[in-house]
């Protein structure tokens, strides 16, 4: 049991028990035997009530069952994935485990801390493994204000997770944009990496020089610009209630994903470049949407991150 949750469950019961024993032993004229029996009965009742109160603190519908938890003994990063999850990312269940990390689906960003509570109650050491991945699909957002509001909720929940576990969980910002298809691009530090599937990673500068990638460059440039000027700006700006968040990493890719004409991304792209996303769409397998290239960076991450090392080098 997690210590803070156990204390919240036990404290009111212990206060009541102490008051009852004070009355029994200090003011009631019973024999020592009767007082001892009442004391024993009170202790038994307290032991029954404390676990019951603790179980009631777990949010309804968010119990971490075996299908929504990392495998027993898992020591890699555990990514709590929230944000835009209305597509088929978790079509095969709310948990996906690889050799380098475990993804868990959190249905709503404002439920992050409640989702993590039973995980930590079962395995307190998991606090050092938790990573928050916020997934953003600007092609499906019709209002930039609502997009920014969702990022404010993320800041709130990250602070609650810190209060819950005692650690500041690193945040990975994942963006998918409509446009010519690209591999995952991992932005961490000063040298972004392009990570083609089943191929060696290369720097973004090297990838840009390849002739076959020329058509991708305007879309990619404006996608990264939008991440900087909207998402990163909202996460890092000063707020008296919730500390700023500097993401540990940003991952971004584009492809023939579904888009809405009036959505934030097509409007941004047209306003800044007079370009429009391709009209053709494709149905990608679920694995296409998982940003697996970032997982190796997260494995040794907790010590570096919590020692104050910088994240995205923008």
Domain borders along the chain are 3-56, 66-306
Specify which residues 186 forms β-bridges with: 193, 251
The whole-number average pLDDT for the span 216-241 is: 94
Average pLDDT (271-300) is 90
Compute the Cα dihedral for 97, 157, 88, 144 and give only its sign. negative
- Choice among 2-16, 23-37, 231-245 with the minimum mean pLDDT: 2-16
Tokens of 294: 């970032």
Residue with token string 């069952």? 65
Count each helix (H run) and each strand (E run) in the chain, helices first.
11, 9
Asked if 8 contacts 22 with a C-beta cutoff of 8 angstroms, the reply is no
**Cα(65)–Cα(119) distance, rounded to whole angstroms?**
9
Confidence band (pLDDT; 50, 70, 90) for 35?
confident
C-alpha closest to that of 227 among 249, 259, 257, 258: 249
- For residues 178 and 184, is the Cβ–Cβ distance under 8 A? no
Q: Classify each residue of 26-45 as buried b or exposed e, where b means 16 or more C-beta atoms within 10 Å of its C-beta.
A: eeeeeeeeeeeebeeebeee
Tokens describing residue 312: 């995205």
Residue 51's pLDDT band (cuts 50, 70, 90): confident
What distances in angstroms separate CA 7 from CA 14, 42, 260, one per listed residue? 10, 18, 49
Contact at 8 Å (CB) between 24 and 73?
no
Q: How far is CA 102 from CA 133, 159, 187, 299, in A?
A: 11, 22, 21, 11
Q: Give me the pLDDT at residue 57, please.
A: 60
DSSP 59: P
Structure tokens belonging to residue 193: 């990496």
Say yes or no to pLDDT of 310 above 80.
no
Contact 193, 204 (CB under 8 A): yes
When mean pLDDT is compared across 76-80, 86-90, 158-162, 256-260, the lowest value belongs to 86-90
* pLDDT for position 6: 73
Q: How many Cα atoms are found within 13 Å in the side-chain-facing hemisphere of 222?
A: 23
Confidence of residue 89 (pLDDT cuts 50, 70, 90): confident
The Cα 47–Cα 58 span in angstroms is 18
d(CA 154, CA 174): 13
**In the structure encoding, which two tokens stand for residue 225, read together?**
């610009």
């Amino acid at each position: 049991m997690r210590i803070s949750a156990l204390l919240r469950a036990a404290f009111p019961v212990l206060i009541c028990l102490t008051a009852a024993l004070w009355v029994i032993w200090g003011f009631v004229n019973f024999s020592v035997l009767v007082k001892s029996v009442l004391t024993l009965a009170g202790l038994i009742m307290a032991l029954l009530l404390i676990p019951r109160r603790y179980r009631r603190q777990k949010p309804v519908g968010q119990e971490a069952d075996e299908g929504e938890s990392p495998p027993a003994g898992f020591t890699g990063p555990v990514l709590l994935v929230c944000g835009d999850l209305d597509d088929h990312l978790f079509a095969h269940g709310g948990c996906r485990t690889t050799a380098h990390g475990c993804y868990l689906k959190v249905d709503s960003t404002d439920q992050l801390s409640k989702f993590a509570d039973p995980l930590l109650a079962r395995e307190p050491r998991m606090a050092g493994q938790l990573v928050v991945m916020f997934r953003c699909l600007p092609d499906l957002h019709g209002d930039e204000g609502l997009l920014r509001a969702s990022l404010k909720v993320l800041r709130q929940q990250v602070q609650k997770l810190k209060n819950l576990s005692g650690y500041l969980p690193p945040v990975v910002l994942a963006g998918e944009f409509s446009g010519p298809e690209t591999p995952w691009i991992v932005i961490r530090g000063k040298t972004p990496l392009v990570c083609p599937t089943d191929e060696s990673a290369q720097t973004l500068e090297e990838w840009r020089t390849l002739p076959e990638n020329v058509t991708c460059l305007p879309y990619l440039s404006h996608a990264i610009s939008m991440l900087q000027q909207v998402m990163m700006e909202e996460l890092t700006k000063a707020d008296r209630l919730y500390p700023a968040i500097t993401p540990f990493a940003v991952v971004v890719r584009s492809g023939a994903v579904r888009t809405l004409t009036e959505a934030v991304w097509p409007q941004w792209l047209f306003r800044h470049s007079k370009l429009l996303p391709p009209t053709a769409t494709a149905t990608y397998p679920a694995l296409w949407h998982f940003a697996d290239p970032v997982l190796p960076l997260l494995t040794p991450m907790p010590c570096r991150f919590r020692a104050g090392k910088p994240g995205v080098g923008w």
